A and B are shown apart, each in its own frame.
Chain A
């Protein structure tokens, strides 16, 4: 039977097992919306701004591992989606973004609502397509999903001119696809793996450093097995939190700019660094010239271009994390050699000394709410088992430092691009994917206002997300830098003219709460969580002067932290 291009798009999404599409209609995609109207298999979630659609799809993808799907119209629809596409790109999140385009014969004519979507998004996608023939829709979707979800994942944009969505053709979805120009490496090089295992076992001061790649590659089980066998210390990046249980004694905390003293000192002092699915981002390494001065480095990544990009490594291994870690484990089992117990014991002694620094201490007796108190209390009440999304700023770092993630895919934040406005729409995507789970969005009064309109989406779809607004009346992270590096000249970082967030939440049909005393934190959180089918906005009035510690100033090495 012949189907229209629009119907074919729906059939492709069905064939890929897609249950939600996040989108916003407009002229160029009206045929596609008409096709949505006629079916119930794929549910369309109407956001209030296209940026929200991309972040929601992103949150869905991060929390499930399945690709998120976005549908927007041409021109402003596509440009509004750009921030969300870049956010997904920087964190390697699988996502399909369908952008409407003006009819084929108008392309290039500066037609109404025409932009070169393929050109605009080219540097922020894993790949993109402009479909020029209705017959190519099915194969393009197959390719798009294949590219987005395999290797190092990433967003793929499919730009579809309006006329094509009305034309008809036979529909057949390809059952498999091979692309001569794209086939990511799966298995690590055997010789390299053997050399790596030898190096790992010869270590006296080892450190395992893992990033978002372990979570994206679903390698957490293998990582835990590997790490426990060795008894080595492990640190996670901001993107990698939850890959290894934070409550485990081998975990030394997050590393990097706001990492723990023990993690950063351990990195600085180690003799063998085992980097897995991490990309040596500048927020992690600090000054490259001072990075891991005594370490031999093993780097495992599915993306060859990540290896030796910032830091020259000694043993590169390209492959999928699960495969490589399984090979490591086999290698450990096959050899007589064991980790060097006496060296390791000394190393742990050293790490424990660093731990005594208690770098995450803060004034727990404060009469003003400290942001850390709220996060710690969230952890206690939820037993560390909630899905936590965040925006960008101090609150994000506090959530990362104090929540203690024991499971992967629970910590959902924009690490690479650092996109304020991510938290709330991402929480919607997470909540849709996990209707019975608790989803909390940790935010600040500046960030939340960047995608605030999505409160309306939460109402429409009954998404009971809990918004934890750590309201310090400042763009706190900006203020902190100004305090440290600009002699307290607080240029434009004060948040003036704030709305009454309680009334605001109520006007959207949600529950609003105002909390300004430490002793009220627990009751407020418990009450909010008990409201299982309501979205709740808690406005916590926090200490304006609190800073995130430790901090590595720009240009400093990992051992040069500013401590509290």
Chain B
């Protein structure tokens, strides 16, 4: 099963490689990983999407917790939570496809953020499924480039990691 593990870690050089190294050394897979400093500049927040049996996920959590740089950790998938991902996608936009793309962007509540004579660059957020669906809806359009941020997540309710 897929799990989203949210980690607060010391914002120190090497902290990211400790997490990444742990996954490769122990043969766990990483589907996506995002990381950036938080409002407290000494901390980074990392969201890591992985999958495995319950036993493997338990080991992953324990091994992550064991890293000296890891301050706190939560498996978001254990409780109600919100997932978001940002995608920037550059598509060919000529002749009648210009209208078609614009229509699809509206339906998916994205935004066109850059325009040339022959292309649009679209920004769209949502959970992974929504972004996949958007890409699929563009099947007749020529896609020039796709950039996805990887998933971020936060728990619902007032409980906070921090």
Contact = CB atoms under 8 A, between A and B. Distances in A.
Given A119-B17, A122-B18, A312-B55, A305 B68 contact: no
Interface in A369-406: none
B70 A181 contact: yes
Contacts of A147: 68
Contacts of B71: 180-181
Nearest to A303: B66
B9 interface: yes
B37 to A, nearest CB: 15
B63 A305 contact: yes
A532 interface: no
B13 interface: yes
B68 A182 contact: yes
A131 to B, nearest CB: 12
Interface in A124-161: 126-128, 130, 147
B25 interface: yes
Interface in A301-354: 303-305, 307-309, 312
A355 to B, nearest CB: 37
B52 to A, nearest CB: 14
A118 B21 CA distance: 12
B17 A305 contact: no
Contacts of A308: 55, 58
B14 interface: yes
Contacts of A305: 59, 62-63, 65-66
Contacts, number: 37
B92 interface: no
Contact of B62 (A123, A126, A304): A304
Interface in B84-112: none
Contacts of A307: 62
Contact of A127 (B13, B65, B68): B68
A179 interface: yes
A25 B58 CA distance: 44
B123 interface: no
Interface in A176-196: 179-182
Nearest to B66: A305
A118 B68 contact: no
Contacts of A182: 68
A309 B59 contact: yes
Interface residues of B, number: 19
A122 B15 CA distance: 10
Contacts of B25: 123
Contacts of A123: 21, 25
A130 B62 CA distance: 25
A92 to B, nearest CB: 12
Given A122-B18, A304-B62, A305-B63, A181 B69 contact: yes
A122 B21 contact: yes
B22 to A, nearest CB: 8
Given A181-B68, A181-B70, A118 B58 contact: no
Interface string B29-70: 000000000000000000000000001001100110110111
Contacts of A309: 59
A559 to B, nearest CB: 25
A449 B160 CA distance: 58
A354 B161 CA distance: 55
A309 B65 CA distance: 14
A182 B69 CA distance: 8
A118 B16 CA distance: 13
A398 B9 CA distance: 46
A307 B68 CA distance: 19
A406 B152 CA distance: 56
B55 A126 contact: no
Most chain B CB within 10 A, of A127, A180, A305, is at A305
A39 B10 CA distance: 37
B14 A118 contact: yes
A181 B21 CA distance: 18
Nearest to A122: B21
A117 to B, nearest CB: 11
Contacts of B63: 305
Interface of A: 118-119, 122-123, 126-128, 130, 147, 179-182, 303-305, 307-309, 312
26 contacts: A118-B14, A122-B14, A122-B17, A122-B18, A122-B21, A123-B21, A123-B25, A127-B68, A130-B13, A179-B68, A181-B9, A181-B10, A181-B68, A181-B69, A181-B70, A303-B66, A304-B62, A304-B65, A305-B59, A305-B62, A305-B63, A305-B66, A307-B62, A308-B55, A309-B59, A312-B55
Given A123-B25, A179-B68, A181-B71, 11 more contacts: A118-B14, A119-B17, A126-B68, A181-B9, A181-B68, A181-B70, A182-B68, A303-B66, A305-B59, A305-B62, A308-B55
Closest 3 CB pairs of A and B: A305-B62, A127-B68, A181-B71
